[in-house]
Amino acid sequence: MKSKKFLGIIATTLLATSVLAACGGQDKAGSSDDGSKKEEAKLTLRLADNHPVDYPTVIGDQKFADLVSERTDGRITIEVFPSGQLGDEKSVLEQVQLGAIDFARTNASPLAEFNAELAVFSVPYLFDNDDHLWSFLNSETGTSLLDGLQEAKMQGLAYYDSGSRNYYSSKPLTSVEDLKGLKIRVQQSEMNIKLLDALGASATPMPYGEVFSALQTGIIDGAENNLPSFDSSNHFQEAKHIIMDGHQRIPEILLMSKVGWDKLSDKDKEIIKQAAIDSVETQRQAWADYEKKSLQKITDAGVTITEVKDLAPWQEAVKPVKDEFAKSYPDLIKAVEEAK
């Protein structure tokens, strides 16, 4: 067993070394000994995404890759690996930090481990609607958060849409009172656990891939996510009740390994950054289309959908959670308020 683990470490190290070597060949164009201009090296880079090939984030990834190829005349090729082919979210981020994987698309929530300010997106009922969220994301404060990952050896490039998150369960959900006592799966984060505690539910962190079987066996009563994930994961087959409370709006982030980023010429950094930003429109349109399709699918499947008409009871219940975050990051909360 030890020898296998040792071989695995060697393989990962060799992979990281090969990627670094590839990026090292992408220096700024210079001059050779005879004064002629050197031809910039070709690069083939990898982008990891854990969603299926037709999912909006992967559509955005591919648009980004196409734009980079087009704007470098094919000199830089980005290969997109969907469906978790390069590993789960946690292992992918570790490899991105090493430089063994060049790009990743991940949710902002787990990135709060590396930049605590990103936890702002997990603060419940902080954003009134999608327009409010995107006004903040496109603000100076919002874009600066992408650079806050540099100390963790990652470079944020752009935000992708991920809609709003809502609670769903195998038991009826018609009001905030119905959540009391329910075991609800959440992403592993202190903020999410405190949020469920405030609502009277029992927070149950677990890997995303285990949720469907946990719903089947009754280990959990429900979970929370956006509509496309509720659909694509088939959770709606076991959880026939969803309440549209929109408690969080947590964007996705397209990012690059800082190891590889630092090896790029200034010209290529500009191309890659702008291509990421320009891919957002395609991803957001794909998201809007997918949400409509998902809503129709779960409706046809007989899921009971409850719209929350008065958020006041929900907001009041979680006010201590929001206030606690605001004490640590008052300027960030102020920037969110100003983005309305």
Q: What is the CATH number of the domain that holds 112?
A: 3.40.190.170
Specify if 328 maps to a domain.
Answer: yes
Question: What pLDDT is stored for residue 39 in this prediction?
Answer: 62
Strands annotated E in the chain: 43-48, 76-81, 103-107, 154-160, 165-169, 183-186, 202-205, 222-225, 241-248, 252-257, 304-307
- 35 located within any domain: no
Residues 271 and 322 in one domain: no
Same domain, 181 and 244: yes
Please check whether residue 81 lies inside any domain of the structure. Answer: yes
Same domain, 70 and 16: yes
**Are residues 141 and 176 located together in one domain of the fold?**
no
Are 149 and 272 members of one domain?
A: yes
Same domain, 120 and 184: no
| Cα 11 to the center of its chain, rounded Å | 27
Domain count, the chain: 2
Q: What's the confidence (pLDDT) of residue 38? A: 53
**Is residue 75 in some structural domain?**
yes
Tens digit of each residue's pLDDT (9 = 90 or more) over 158-198: 999 999 999 999 999 999 999 999 999 998 778 889 999 99
Are residue 173 and residue 240 in the same domain, yes or no?
A: yes
> Does one domain contain both 64 and 155?
yes
- C-alpha distances out from residue 141 to 125, 228, 272, 315, Å: 19, 28, 21, 24
Angle 56-71/266-300 helices, nearest 10 degrees?
150
Clarify whether residues 78 and 188 are in a common domain.
no
* pTM, two decimal places: 0.84
One domain, residues 57 and 173 = no
Q: What are the distances in angstroms from CA 52 to CA 45, 55, 85, 107?
A: 20, 5, 10, 15
- With beta carbons less than 8 A apart as the criterion, state whether 86 and 101 touch: yes
Q: Are 56 and 205 in the same domain?
A: no
Q: Note the pLDDT tens digit of each residue in 12-55.
A: 444 444 444 444 444 444 444 444 445 678 999 999 999 999 99
Look up the domain containing 111 and give its range. Answer: 2-22+41-163+250-286
Same domain, 180 and 111: no
The percentage of the chain sitting over the pLDDT mark of 70, rounded to a whole number, equals 89
Instruction: Examine residue 33 and state whether it is found in any structural domain, yes or no.
Output: no
Mean pLDDT of 322-333: 93
3-state secondary structure of 259: helix
